[in-house]
Amino acid sequence: MSTTAPPLRSAFVAIVRRDFRLAFYNRSDLVNPLLFFVIVVSLFPFGVGSNPEQLREIAPGVIWVAALLATLLGLDGLFKPDFEDGTLEQLALAPHPLSILVLAKILVHWLLTGIPLIAVTPVIALLLNLDPALLPTLLLSLLIGTPSLSLIGAIGVALTAGIRRGGVLLTLLVLPLYIPVLIFGANLLKTAQFGLDTAGQFYVLAAILMLALVLAPIAAASALRISLN
């Protein structure tokens, strides 16, 4: 008796639902990046002083660096559990493009890591004495930039999925690729602080996102096939 493969859309939705269920079974993995983000930002006033002007000046860089590191912290669980329990092998053997199935997993990672970071950012911005008028610009930049962090990070995770304790190697692979997002994300807010036009930085962040959206799932799928062999 022959069986028919589910449509690609159904397979995509099934992976999203499965990863959401697994994530909520391991709630500590959900909370850790968010707590890390809050703690890192909260420590800066103790290290550099509580001068409001000084905090306002460093706020863009601090928020973006903390968001980058928090995203990196949550990357390790993107593919490794599925690699260890054989799920990735089943995905690789599925009749659907592995890159699309990988994109579903990256989407879940961003929804569970990036969105909570963005949601807590207004409180963090107040802690760093950021001008409330700049908050929409900051949130929009994070909304465009954080998906790129998840997409780019997926490539590094896929390359190190078969390596035990590959966290250091993952960091070395991913951090250089994160630098453009960090530069333009932080510079966008600095430019807005001086009342200058930020369209150029937004366009660059959007271009990076589009490029990552197209290429990162393909690269991650290829890296996973290499890790599985």
pLDDT tens digits for range 138-170: 999 999 999 999 999 999 888 887 777 667 778
Q: What's residue 150's pLDDT?
A: 93
The position carrying tokens 């929804």 is: 111
Q: How far apart are CA 4 and CA 23, in angstroms?
A: 29
Q: Which of 15-29, 115-129, 202-216 has the highest mean pLDDT?
A: 202-216
Across the range 26-52, mean pLDDT stands at 83
**SS3 sequence, the chain?**
CCCCCCCHHHHHHHHHHHHHHHHHHCHHHHHHHHHHHHHHHHHHHHHHCCCHHHHHHHHHHHHHHHHHHHHHHCCCCCCHHHHHHCHHHHHHHCCCCHHHHHHHHHHHHHHHHHHHHHHHHHHHHHHCCCCHHHHHHHHHHHHHHHHHHHHHHHHHHHHCCCCCCCHHHHHHHHHHHHHHHHHHHHHHHHHHHCCCCCHHHHHHHHHHHHHHHHHHHHHHHHHHHHHHC
In contact, 125 and 36? CB cutoff 8 Å: no
Looking at every residue in the chain, the average pLDDT score rounds to 87
In contact, 215 and 102? CB cutoff 8 Å: no
Among 34-38, 141-145, 171-175, 225-229, which stretch is predicted with the lowest mean pLDDT? 225-229
Q: How far apart are CA 49 and CA 206, in angstroms?
A: 34
CB neighbours of 30 closer than 8 A, spacing ≥ 6?
23, 24, 112, 116
What residue spans define the domains of the chain? 8-228
Q: Is the pLDDT of residue 4 over 70?
A: no
> What angle is formed at CA 124 by the lines to CA 119 and CA 131, rounded to 5 degrees?
105
Burial class (CB in 10 A: 0-12, 13-18, 19+), 139: middle
Q: Using one digit for the tens of pLDDT, what is the confidence trace for 68-116?
A: 999 988 887 788 878 777 888 888 888 888 899 999 999 999 999 999 9
Q: What's residue 5's pLDDT?
A: 59
Q: What's residue 110's pLDDT?
A: 93
CB neighbours of 148 closer than 8 A, spacing ≥ 6?
181, 205, 208, 209, 212
In contact, 12 and 104? CB cutoff 8 Å: yes
Percent of the chain at pLDDT above 90? 40
Q: What's residue 149's pLDDT?
A: 93
